[in-house]
Amino acid sequence: MEHLPVEVIGNILSRLKAARDVVIASATCKKWREAWRNHLHTLSFNSNDWTVYHDLAPSRLEILITQTIFQTTALQCLSIFMDDVDEFSAAPVIAWLMYTRDTLRQLHYNVRTTPNVNIIEKCSRQKLEVLSLAHNSVTGVEPSYQKFPCLKSLSLSYVSISALDLSLLLTACPKLQNLTLINPDIAMSDAQAIMELNSSSLKDIYVEAVSLDKFILEADGIENLHLKDCTLEAFELIGKGSLRVLKIDDVSVLHLDIGENTENLQIVDVSSFTIMWPKFYNMISKSSNLKRLRLWGVVFDDEDEVVDLETVSVCFPRLSHLSLSYDLRDVCGLQGTSPLENVVVLELGWTIISDLFSDWVAGLLERCPNLKKLVICGVVSEVKSPEECQVLASFTSSIVRLMRKYMRVEVQFEYE
């Protein structure tokens, strides 16, 4: 150990991340203290790393963090996650940002400050590549002055920001590739809640717990779009057909438009969502490269609608993973004879088990000649009537008999 270069020791200390562990390890000897001062590049203060953090007053934490940071000279990644702290004073937070701004590449910060510190202003015009903020306010964005020439990833959680400032912030990030918005408090200048975002470099966007009348995203290079727990009257994606992954989870939206160019879509994952199958199918029908289709817990707008497997097999010839879970009625959508040649993983689920589900499983197995794995997911209530127990037992027996015809297929059951 004594022959290790100080740069290597700095890397070892940086891998520890947690400030308490880094401080203890750096006390090993003079050489390790030198590595701590001059070559430590990652430091994290997380209330989950050390129980003592929970017992310290905010003022004491501010002193502790200040003393620790000011003993370093080469920090590139700084994380401060203190869930039990209501707020920090503005002065020490500004001091941390100003002290590290020349070297910092990543900043993760989730504590409110009093008065509010404009972290966007303090961190702009530097080499920051990753910025993750929570429980803060962003105001008065000036893209001509507050530029982020190197920023590639931006995450805003429970952040107060106007729709205009968010749009201007994206303009100030010419290399931004990843954007995460979680439950933002978005202020609107008009009575109608409309947000328009534009980024030519954006590749991945995750939006959670957002309520808007209209959300317009213009991103020519977007590849991954994930909407979760959102309430929107309309969502419109304007791009150039680069979208590869579309995920929609528990979203209420009246009008969904992802553009006409969907040839590059490879994954469609929709759950807890009300869909009009003809309209939804028309939206993704040109996705001839689709490999994974997941429609889980979906509700059809018309009670006579089902997922038409004939159109799925014809239009998505490269489909390898198919996951379906919805209320089965008299019609299961098994019409037609076209096989799902390339499907190797089939995941099927129920909300209410019935004999119809067993027939559905059998019909789907016949359509998948090259299937390798079958996953059956179901919901089992804690309190079961004798009739429910009998139905479950009958279903299990029918599956056992059925799978004797498909000995090559691995079967997995997942109950909740």
> In this predicted model, what pLDDT tens digit does every residue of 227-243 receive, in sequence order?
999 999 999 999 998 99
- In sequence order, the 6+-apart residues with CB closer than 8 A to the CB of 5 are none
Q: Is residue 362 part of a domain?
A: no
Q: Is residue 20 part of a domain?
A: no
Q: Is residue 249 part of a domain?
A: yes
> pLDDT tens digits for 73-131?
999 999 999 887 888 999 999 999 999 999 999 999 999 898 988 899 888 888 999 99
CA distances from 184 to 85, 130, 157, 168, 305 (A): 20, 18, 6, 16, 36
Q: Which pLDDT band, with edges at 50, 70 and 90, does 1 fall under?
A: low
CA distances from 44 to 108, 240, 253, 353 (A): 9, 40, 39, 49
CATH number at residue 254: 3.80.10
- Which amino acid is present at 260? E
Q: Is residue 266 part of a domain?
A: yes
Q: Is residue 5 part of a domain?
A: no
**Furthest CA-CA distance within the chain:** 77
- In sequence order, the 6+-apart residues with CB closer than 8 A to the CB of 383 are none
The total number of structural domains that make up the chain: 1
Q: Is residue 143 part of a domain?
A: yes
Mean pLDDT of 286-306: 82
> pLDDT tens digits for 243-282?
999 999 999 988 999 988 889 999 999 998 887 777 888 8
- In sequence order, the 6+-apart residues with CB closer than 8 A to the CB of 248 are 226, 227, 228, 256, 269, 270, 271, 273
Query: Do 57 and 89 form a contact (C-beta atoms < 8 A)?
Result: no
Q: Is residue 24 part of a domain?
A: no
Distance CA 346, CA 272 (A): 19
Predicted confidence (pLDDT) at residue 152 exceeds the cutoff of 60 = yes
Kindly give the residue spans of alpha helices, DSSP state H, lying in 238-381: 277-284, 309-315, 355-367
The mean of the pLDDT values for the chain is 89
Q: Is residue 118 part of a domain?
A: yes
Predicted confidence (pLDDT) at residue 179 exceeds the cutoff of 80 = yes
Mean pLDDT of 333-346: 85
Query: Do 100 and 75 form a contact (C-beta atoms < 8 A)?
Result: yes
Hey, what long-range contacts does 111-119 have (CB within 8 A, 24 or more apart)?
111/80, 111/82, 111/85, 111/87, 111/135, 112/86, 112/87, 112/88, 112/136, 113/87, 113/88, 113/89, 114/87, 114/88, 114/89, 114/90, 115/90, 116/90, 117/90, 117/93
Which DSSP category does 116 fall into? P
Query: Do 113 and 137 form a contact (C-beta atoms < 8 A)?
Result: no
- Residue from 169, 162, 224, 170 nearest 194 by CA: 162
Mean pLDDT of 294-305: 77
- Residue from 77, 76, 79 nearest 65 by CA: 79
Query: Do 41 and 9 form a contact (C-beta atoms < 8 A)?
Result: no
> What residues make up the domain containing 179?
44-345
- In sequence order, the 6+-apart residues with CB closer than 8 A to the CB of 24 are none
Cis peptide upstream of residue 369 (ω within 30 degrees of 0): no
Q: Where are the beta strands (DSSP E) in 58-125?
A: 77-81, 87-89, 106-109, 112-114
Q: Following DSSP, what letter does each residue of 367-411 receive, concatenated?
A: H-TT--EEEEEE---SS--HHHHHHHHHHHHHHHHHHTT-TTSEE
Give percent of the chain above pLDDT 90. 55
Q: Which pLDDT band, with edges at 50, 70 and 90, does 321 fall under?
A: very high
Phi (first) and psi of residue 278, to 5 degrees: -55, -45
CB atoms inside a 10 Å sphere around CB 388: 14
Residue 251 Cα to chain centre, angstroms = 14
Predicted confidence (pLDDT) at residue 331 exceeds the cutoff of 50 = no
CB atoms inside a 10 Å sphere around CB 114: 12
